[in-house]
Structure formats: C-alpha cells, structure tokens
Structure 1
Amino acid sequence: MSPDAGIVLVLNAGSSSLKFAGFAATPAGPRPRFAGQVEGIGAAPRLVAKTAAGEGIADHRWDGGDAPANHAEALGVIVRGLDKALHGEPILGIGHRVVHGGTDFAAPMRIDDATMAALETLVPLAPLHQPHNLVGIRAAAEHFPGVPQVACFDTAFHRTQGWAAQTFALPPRFYDAGIRRYGFHGLSYEYIARRIAAEDPTLGAGRLVVAHLGNGASLCAIEGGRSRASTMGFTALDGIPMGTRSGQIDPGVILHMIDRLGMTTAEVTKLLYNGSGLKGMSGVSQDVRQIEAAGTEAAAHALEHFAFRVRREIGAMAASIGGIDALVFTAGIGENAQGVRARICAGLEFLGITLDAARNAAHAAEISVAGAAVKVLVRRTDEEGMIAGHTLGVLNRLG
C-alpha cells in the first residue's frame, strides 16, 4: 500500500452524537488527518471538525428545520462536508466502535448481514450504546455502498481473562449460555497498554491498573499487556459509579425495587442507567466540573463516594495481578479532573501510591512523587486510533 493511498474513516456513534475521524493509510499504519463530531442530535445539533494539526474545517450550529434529526441524517451532513478534508482521496474502509461483542466476537470483524444479525441480539446487554452503534453502521452502508466496514469491539480486549475472572457464582449452565463478565472500554485499555509498552517496555510488561474515568467509567488490571480483570461485567452497568449509571449494586436492591416498591423493570432500568451515578447522587449533573462548583452537601457526597469506589477497586485490581507497578488515569475525568485524582489517591500510600500535588495540578504526564514505588501516570486515550489500526489490519488481510 503506497503512502496516503486512501482514508480509513472511523465512526463512533453515541446516544446523541456521532464522532468521526479520518486516518491516512500508510505503510507505517494509520496517520491522523481530521476528526470531529455532530453533537446534540435530535436537540440542538452542532458540527465541529478540525484537521490533525488543529485547523478548523467546520463549525456549524443548526437553529432551523434543516437540522439533522437522527444519526443517518448526521452522517449525511458529515459526508457532504468530507470533500474539504479528503482532498480527492478514496475511503478505503470504515471502522466502527461496537460496545458489545458477546462470546462470538473476540477480534475485529468485517461486517456482513450475518454479523449484523448477531450484533442485534446483543442490544439488551448494552442498551445505551449498541443500538446507536448499529444505526451508524447502517447509515454508513447507505452513504458508502460497497465500502468495507469493520466492527471493533470494546469487549474483545478482555477475552484474555481467566475463567475465574469471567464467571459469576451461578450454576455452570449460565456461563455456558453466555452469562459471564465481558468487560468494556477494551479499545481504550488496549491503546493505553500499547502506549505504555512503547514508552517503557519494562513497565509495559509489568502490572498496570488503568482507570478509564469518563461518563462511562471502569478499571482494568493489565499484566504483560493482557487484561486479567475488570470492574465492568455482563453489561456496561457494573463496577464503579459513572456519569448517570449506578455501577455495582446489591442484586437484592433491584428485587426490593420490583417486589416491594412496585417499580417495573423498565423503570428500574431507566433509574440505573440514566438517573443514578454522579448525576443522581449530586442532583446537579454528571459533569464533574459542575458538581465541584455546586458546593452542596449532595455534590460533595457524590464526589466522595465516587473516589471511594474507585480507590477500593484499585486495590481489588492490584490484588488480581499480585501487585501494581503503575496506575494510569485516562478518559475525560481521569485526564482532566485533578481534584478527583487527588481524592482517589489519598489513602493509597500503603500500595506505594503518593501524588505530587504540583505535578497533579499541572496535569503532568507523571504525577507521582519522585522515586515513588508505583508510578502514577496520566495519558490521553485514543480509541479512534485503535479502531483505525484494526480496520486497516482487516483490510490488509482481505487484500
């Protein structure tokens, strides 16, 4: 493949947004060219796009009847604006983030009708994400007929976990039926693991606990570049509290809500996915900046609980791999919320984790004190870059 022989387009469809990025296909791998998103789909949409160098390509808000009302229309807007970014280069393939791959998909996969049918069956396991992922795939097929599409799964990275880490304490027939811990945010964890290994091969071969803290949040124990344990389980609802999701909850609470409080399963689902977590506890927002600025008791309690749960799971992840050589913060909260990082790390000195307050405040790449037994790092994740690399790999195997 000659340098810049074409573009790999990456699409990441969320509930009200459609992120996109373009990567030039080169012999050395994908090279970033542009990125952007249409946000506020169905409400007050806005298109923003920039080149990899930070130059603006588009910035448009809609206030009339021509606004994109769904993901297919949003992709149409993106397609019409791509000419300025593509410079006449063809789109070789389209890579998609797909949250749930179930038991059948443990590696990036060329999308066909059979793949789509299988992914449809997994919608109940990731109701906030999977439907939008599939809508993005269908919209891309409509706008780019004949262009190969590749699904990259957030669950795939965790398939290296052992049986004990994946199973629930249920009779074996449930595990055999696919009821097991899948783990999520795998594309982010895979990127971080590879980046740390490239920066420091010794550290990359060691024991990492990575905290992917954003609106969706989880932790992963990585040993020798492989996932060994994670906080998320059968669905993306498990583990630590998130922006609007409860995280781990006693199953008895759910039974009580249904049997004693008279809530329907739909009402419980909406509460746990959309009305809990930082937003539900604070009564303010899922945005940490707004919670920190609120100054209310409920807001303070939300941050305290979030930090406590993350801190507890850091210890659990370290125990699952026999220790810890580095703690890595990533994603929106992990990369930007210095106060939350400080709250989390307070009290972890027994593990060898001690923050340098000045480094943390400056968002330095390494925020632990000099000579600390455990490095504490801050790294920007790049899920789109991982998707582009996987997509290019599939296209190369297809010839």
Structure 2
Amino acid sequence: MSYALTLNAGSSSLKFGLFALGADEPELSANGLADRVGGDARLTLKGADGTKLRDAVPIPAEGVVDHHEALVAALHELEDHFPGAQIDTVGHRVVHGGMDYSGPTVLSPAIIDKLSTLSPFAPLHQPHNLAGVRAAMAAFPQAVQVACFDTAFHRHHPFVNDVFALPREYYDKGVRRYGFHGLSYDYISGELARIAPDLHAGRVVVAHLGNGASMCGLRGGRSVASSMGFSALDGLPMGTRTGQLDPGIILYLLQQEGMSVEDIITLLYKKSGLLGLSGLSHDMRTLEASGSEGARQAIDYYTFRARRELGGLAAALEGLDGLVFCGGIGENSRLIRERICNGLHWIGIEIDDEANAANAPVISRPDARVKVMVIPTNEEIVIARACAALGVRGA
C-alpha cells in the first residue's frame, strides 16, 4: 500500500496526516498535531475515526524542539501504529506561491530556493512551511515532494482585483493582491459542487474564520475577489493580526513613534487583532465567555468588519446567492455567525436561530433568498489529492 504524508507547518506547530493512496479518493488513516514547536512541544495523534492514539505526549529533544525534530517524532508515532507504511509522496501546504505557481507543484531544490525568496511576503508562514519541506526531504529522500499553495486558488482574479494603484512597475515585480487560504476555498468549492451544484454555479461568499481569517467571493466555483491582498495581514481582523489598516499608520509608527521595522512586524502580526483589541486573548472562545468591555468591543469590531467585507464581495460578484462559514470560528461559533448575519435581510440573508444554534449544515430560513451554510473545511484532503495526482508523475 502506498501512502501520502501531508504536512502543514506553522510558526509553532506541525499538522500532519497519513493517507492511503490507490482508491479513487485518498483515505485518511491518521492525523495529528505537534504543538508548541520551538518550546515545550507536545504531540497528539488521532485515528481516522477521531480516536486518540496519543494524547499530548512530550516530544523529547536536547534543547528546543524544531520542525525537523517534530517531524521525526510524528514519524515515530506513525510507524508505531502503521508499521511498514510506505510513504511515497509528501504534500506540503506552502502559503505563498507568488506569481508563478497557480497549482500543485513537484518540488525541486531550485523551486525551493525560489520559494524562499517569497519569505518577506509571508514572514510568519513561508519560512516554517519550507522548514517542513526540508525536514521531509531529509526524512524521505526518495519520496516525491509536492507543494500546494494557498495563493494558487486566487491566481485567476480579474485585473481590478489583482492590482494596487501603485506605479505599474511594482505590479510587474509582484506587488499585487494574492489572496490566501486557497486550500480551504478549494475544498469548499469542491464540496459545493458535490452537495449544492446549483449554488456552486452561482455567486457565493465563503467566510474562512479562524485564528487567521479571510473571505472569498466565488463565481462558478472560482475565486473572483478576496479580502486578503499582498500579505496575510489584510482584510478581516484575526487572532493577533490587524486586518485592514491605513498604510499611513505604518508611516506614523516609523516617523513619530520611532519604531523599527521588526517592532512593527511584531505589532502587526503578533500583538494586534482580537488580542490587541480585547487586551485579553486571541481566542474567540475566551472572548465569548468573558464579560469584559474589551472582549465585547473586539467581537463587535470583528463582526462589523466581516459584514463590511461581505457587502464588498457581494458587490464584486454583482449579487449573492450563498454564504458559507468554515474554519474553527465559522464552524463552531453560533454567536459570531448570528452577529454577522443579523440585519442583512436587505441582501437576502435571514438565518434560522435553531438551525444556527445546532451548527446545522444549512442555517438560513427556508424562504430566505440567500442560502447560508456551515461546511467544515479540510485542507489536508486537498493536499492528499494533489499527492495522488502528482506522486506517480513526479516519480
């Protein structure tokens, strides 16, 4: 049996999945998470049915656990539970593919070097994604390594949704609206084609709401516009990231506050968003449970910006037929979905309170013009499908 290993390397985590190949659809065998990489790292492993095979066991290491050591620990756990599993393909989530990569790509040293030059575009993601690639190449030197890019799904935007009003030379250099969370949107588009083909053919806004958050307008299942732009900072406020920001603020911080570039990067990426506004936490569950004014104001701003982005994307789509919530917050927070949707009857959105409270697949009222759905996303299966498609060809 041939297997694919999927890797999603974050700044302090490594998500991984083991998929059996050979059938029409890759079949999940197990998935897991190495958390707190760079510190007191721990590993959790679950079977395909959700049963915990390992629950937050420490990852032993001399000194700080890096992504390579986290991968080694994950592989040891997989070997214990799936002895002899032959990993022929490794699929990687890579946040930024730049101008050149509009689909899954078999990696080579030259391509990896090229992707490294995009690290300034995604400083909190790209270096860790590529660290996962290098760790996997060391562990599986004979395996086909496949990159799946978060930006690829958006590479067919119309020019007006791809450009900034800067001198054209910057656009030609790659300063453009890339959009992100493409693997999630790819999965949701595919699910709509499977379970709601009429809606898939129409105009849909997908709200990927998690610690990172964005919204995407789809027409006929293809991305037309995204709330995120040049970097993963733009658009909606996130757990610790600002979202939309007047660029004049950056000039003010440089000129008047005397902040360094590194200080500003830390501020925008790690100290802002829900955490900065609330002064309490980046976790929406904590904020919803808190009675503090800061938590309330952070939720107010979060849902207001989501409603504003929704209106803008509906304008870009020239109408709206559906709204889909996904991501950790989108899939699980009744309050956030309610707060975003309430008062939008003018655009055709009316939700059923009981269905919303139950996290039902369809939460709109039966007579509402816009269908509102909750669809759990699955980035890992998108990566596994790319492995199945490219693994043999790459070999």
TM over 0.5: yes
Q: Deviations over 1:187-219 (max 9, x none)?
A: 000000010110021111111100000000000
Residue 105 of structure 1, CA deviation: 0.9
In the TM superposition, what are the counterparts of 1:82-97 in structure 2 within 5 Å? Answer: 82-97=78-93
Summarize the Cα distance change of 1:258–1:303 in structure 2 as closer, same or farther, 3 Å threshold.
Answer: same
Could you tell me which residue of structure 2 aligns to residue 241 of structure 1? 237
Residue 63 of structure 1, CA deviation: 8.5
Whole-angstrom distance in 1 between the partners of 2:289 and 2:50: 30
Q: Deviations over 1:237-281 (max 9, x none)?
A: 111100000011001111111111111111111101100000110
Could you tell me which residue of structure 2 aligns to residue 383 of structure 1? 379
Contact conserved, 2:59 with 2:70, CA < 8 A, in 1? no
Could you tell me which residue of structure 2 aligns to residue 111 of structure 1? 107
Could you tell me which residue of structure 1 aligns to residue 290 of structure 2? 294
Q: Give the counterpart letter for 1:45 in structure 2.
A: A
Residue 56 of structure 1, CA deviation: 2.6
Could you tell me which residue of structure 1 aligns to residue 220 of structure 2? 224
Identify the match of residue 340 of structure 1 among 317, 336, 348. 336
Could you tell me which residue of structure 1 aligns to residue 262 of structure 2? 266
Contact conserved, 1:68 with 1:74, CA < 8 A, in 2? no
Residue 64 of structure 1, CA deviation: 6.9
Could you tell me which residue of structure 1 aligns to residue 126 of structure 2? 130
Whole-angstrom distance in 2 between the partners of 1:203 and 1:24: 31
1:200 aligns with 2:196: yes
Equivalences, count: 395
Whole-angstrom distance in 2 between the partners of 1:200 and 1:305: 32
Contact conserved, 1:327 with 1:374, CA < 8 A, in 2? yes
Whole-angstrom distance in 1 between the partners of 2:281 and 2:271: 10
Summarize the Cα distance change of 1:60–1:255 in structure 2 as closer, same or farther, 3 Å threshold.
Answer: closer
1:188 aligns with 2:184: yes
Q: Deviations over 1:79-137 (max 9, x none)?
A: 11212343423111000000000001111111111111101000011111111101101
In the TM superposition, what are the counterparts of 1:318-333 in structure 2 within 5 Å? Answer: 318-333=314-329
Whole-angstrom distance in 2 between the partners of 1:219 and 1:63: 36
Q: Which one is further off, 170-179 or 378-387?
A: 170-179
In the TM superposition, what are the counterparts of 1:301-320 in structure 2 within 5 Å? Answer: 301-320=297-316
Could you tell me which residue of structure 1 aligns to residue 18 of structure 2? 22
Whole-angstrom distance in 2 between the partners of 1:67 and 1:345: 48
Contact conserved, 1:310 with 1:344, CA < 8 A, in 2? yes
Secondary structure of 2:192's aligned partner: helix
Secondary structure of 1:168's aligned partner: coil
Q: Give the counterpart letter for 1:354 in structure 2.
A: E
1:157 aligns with 2:153: yes
Q: Give the counterpart letter for 1:320 in structure 2.
A: A
Residue 60 of structure 1, CA deviation: 4.1
Whole-angstrom distance in 1 between the partners of 2:265 and 2:88: 40
1:44 aligns with 2:40: yes
Contact conserved, 1:10 with 1:384, CA < 8 A, in 2? yes
Summarize the Cα distance change of 1:28–1:322 in structure 2 as closer, same or farther, 3 Å threshold.
Answer: same
In the TM superposition, what are the counterparts of 1:204-215 in structure 2 within 5 Å? Answer: 204-215=200-211
Whole-angstrom distance in 2 between the partners of 1:31 and 1:270: 40
Contact conserved, 2:59 with 2:73, CA < 8 A, in 1? no
Contact conserved, 1:68 with 1:77, CA < 8 A, in 2? no
Q: Give the counterpart letter for 1:184 in structure 2.
A: F
Whole-angstrom distance in 1 between the partners of 2:98 and 2:181: 14
1:169 aligns with 2:165: yes
Summarize the Cα distance change of 1:72–1:354 in structure 2 as closer, same or farther, 3 Å threshold.
Answer: same
Secondary structure of 1:75's aligned partner: helix
Residue 66 of structure 1, CA deviation: 5.6
Contact conserved, 2:7 with 2:132, CA < 8 A, in 1? yes
Summarize the Cα distance change of 1:334–1:269 in structure 2 as closer, same or farther, 3 Å threshold.
Answer: same
Secondary structure of 2:26's aligned partner: strand
Could you tell me which residue of structure 2 aligns to residue 13 of structure 1? 9
Q: Which one is further off, 388-397 or 106-115?
A: 388-397
Whole-angstrom distance in 2 between the partners of 1:194 and 1:65: 41
Residue 47 of structure 1, CA deviation: 1.0
User: How large is the RMSD of aligned CA atoms in angstroms?
Assistant: 1.4
Q: Percent identity?
A: 49
Q: Give the counterpart letter for 1:265 in structure 2.
A: V
Residue 236 of structure 1, CA deviation: 0.4
Could you tell me which residue of structure 2 aligns to residue 121 of structure 1? 117
Contact conserved, 2:28 with 2:48, CA < 8 A, in 1? yes
Whole-angstrom distance in 2 between the partners of 1:12 and 1:98: 8
1:72 aligns with 2:71: no
